[in-house]
């Protein structure tokens, strides 16, 4: 579910999603879930996400050396010049408001005012392709889990007077502290257009749809396709889940529910989402 708030000052808070009781599914390492996004306009003038944020590898090695990118695209019916800020936050929805669960926060903006609009401590630099980019150091994981490296932006379509889009791609490396912490992750994105203090459309945080896992070293073996998990004792708020006895407990497992609940879909070690 996506959010769009017209003409408002949307701070770094997320929307809420309806709670759904969904079917259970599960994943092993490097499994990718991709949902086709049917983009639709929320009203004239507002930016529209046309490409979900995605990390360029389904398995990320936490060696703080291998570069990865996370990219997203927004279009705007007024042209790409209308878009003034695009942000990406790793595991934003999964954090459920607990900033300590974020794994890094980067953005792109037309100016320094755009990238620092919501406060906090940022390291700011020029973006390749124009504008400025920044990464936050004092919250949402800071630089404990990633080393931000660079940012590149490209445009397509019209600058003004018609639809145009902007793609932003941030390059980063991943630190060992992120390995299996948690196992499964995604990137969430946000955008705004117009001018601060004037007419502006702010698109609330949109949950990424492509998961990736973070591992301490390159995977040397991959387990076979697992059997369905075993569900038992369902109540209105709980269910008991077991690994299929045909599978080996020596493998690493991640359990996912779908659709997500409040933007959270992966079961943590303590059974919570």
Instruction: Between 161 and 234, name the residue whose CB sits nearer to Ca ion.
Output: 161
Peptide bond into 198 cis (omega under 30): no
Among 12, 78, 114, 213, interactor with Ca ion by CB under 5 A? 78
What distance in Å separates the CA atoms of residue 215 and residue 184, rounded to the nearest whole number? 10
Among 193, 214, 257, 266, interactor with Ca ion by CB under 5 A? 193
Question: Which one of the spans 19-27, 79-87, 118-126, 228-236 is the region binding Ca ion (CB under 5 A)?
Answer: 79-87
Half-sphere exposure in the Cβ direction for 123 (13 Å, CA): 13
Instruction: Between 48 and 128, name the residue whose CB sits nearer to Ca ion.
Output: 48
Query: Counting contacts by CB under 5 A, is residue 188 touching Ca ion?
Result: yes
Query: Counting contacts by CB under 5 A, is residue 213 touching Ca ion?
Result: no
Query: Counting contacts by CB under 5 A, is residue 12 touching Ca ion?
Result: no
Query: Counting contacts by CB under 5 A, is residue 76 touching Ca ion?
Result: yes
- Please tell me the count of residues contacting Ca ion according to CB under 5 A: 10
List Cβ neighbours of 262 (8 Å cut-off, separation of 6 or more).
Answer: 16, 17, 19, 93, 96, 273
Rounded alpha-carbon distances, angstroms, from residue 210 to 6, 56, 70, 200, 264: 27, 10, 11, 29, 13
Encoded tokens for 66: 């291998």
Instruction: Between 75 and 171, name the residue whose CB sits nearer to Ca ion.
Output: 75
Question: Which one of the spans 67-75, 82-90, 120-128, 138-146 is the region binding Ca ion (CB under 5 A)?
Answer: 82-90
Rounded alpha-carbon distances, angstroms, from residue 38 to 52, 81, 101, 166: 11, 24, 29, 18
Closest contact distance (angstroms) between CB of 245 and Ca ion is 32
Closest contact distance (angstroms) between CB of 63 and Ca ion is 24
Closest contact distance (angstroms) between CB of 193 and Ca ion is 4
Query: Counting contacts by CB under 5 A, is residue 207 touching Ca ion?
Result: yes
Closest contact distance (angstroms) between CB of 40 and Ca ion is 15
Instruction: Between 135 and 190, name the residue whose CB sits nearer to Ca ion.
Output: 190
Give the footprint of Ca ion on residues 84-123 (CB under 5 A).
Answer: 93
Long-range contacts: 31-38, Cβ < 8 Å, 24+? 31/58, 31/211, 31/254, 32/58, 32/210, 32/211, 32/212, 33/209, 33/210, 33/211, 33/256, 33/258, 34/209, 34/210, 35/209, 37/209
Bridge-based pairing state of the strands 59-61 and 212-215? parallel
What distance in Å separates the CA atoms of residue 80 and residue 86, rounded to the nearest whole number? 12
Q: Which of 128, 204, 122, 203 is nearest to 170 (CA)?
A: 128
Instruction: Between 45 and 96, name the residue whose CB sits nearer to Ca ion.
Output: 45
Question: Which one of the spans 61-69, 100-108, 167-175, 188-196 is the region binding Ca ion (CB under 5 A)?
Answer: 188-196
Residue nearest to Ca ion (CB): 82
In the complex, the residues that contact Ca ion under the rule CB under 5 A are 45, 76, 78, 82, 93, 186, 188, 193, 207-208
């Amino acid at each position: 579910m996506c959010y769009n708030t017209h003409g408002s000052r949307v701070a770094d808070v997320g929307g809420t999603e309806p709670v759904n009781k969904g079917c259970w599914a599960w994943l092993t390492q490097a499994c990718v879930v991709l949902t086709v996004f049917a983009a639709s306009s929320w009203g004239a003038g507002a930016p529209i996400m046309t490409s979900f944020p995605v990390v360029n590898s389904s398995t990320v090695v936490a060696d703080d050396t291998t570069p990865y990118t996370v990219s997203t695209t927004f279009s705007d019916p007024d042209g790409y010049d209308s878009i003034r800020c695009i942000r990406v936050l790793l595991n934003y929805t999964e954090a459920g408001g607990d900033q300590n669960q974020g794994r890094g926060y980067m953005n792109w903006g037309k100016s320094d005012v755009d990238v620092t609009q919501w406060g906090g401590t940022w390291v700011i630099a020029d973006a390749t392709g124009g504008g400025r980019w920044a990464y936050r150091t004092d919250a949402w994981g800071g630089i404990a889990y990633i080393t931000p490296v660079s940012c590149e932006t490209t445009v397509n379509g019209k600058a003004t007077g018609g639809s145009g889009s902007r793609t932003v791609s941030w390059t980063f490396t991943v630190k060992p502290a992120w390995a299996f912490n948690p196992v499964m992750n995604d990137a969430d994105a946000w955008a705004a257009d117009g001018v601060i203090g004037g007419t502006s459309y702010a698109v609330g945080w949109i949950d990424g749809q492509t998961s990736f896992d973070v591992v301490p070293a390159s995977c040397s073996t991959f387990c076979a396709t697992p059997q369905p998990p075993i569900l038992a004792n369902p109540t209105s708020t709980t269910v008991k889940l077991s690994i299929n006895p045909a599978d080996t407990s020596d493998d690493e497992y991640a359990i996912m529910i779908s659709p997500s609940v409040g933007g959270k879909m992966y079961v943590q070690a303590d059974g919570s989402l």
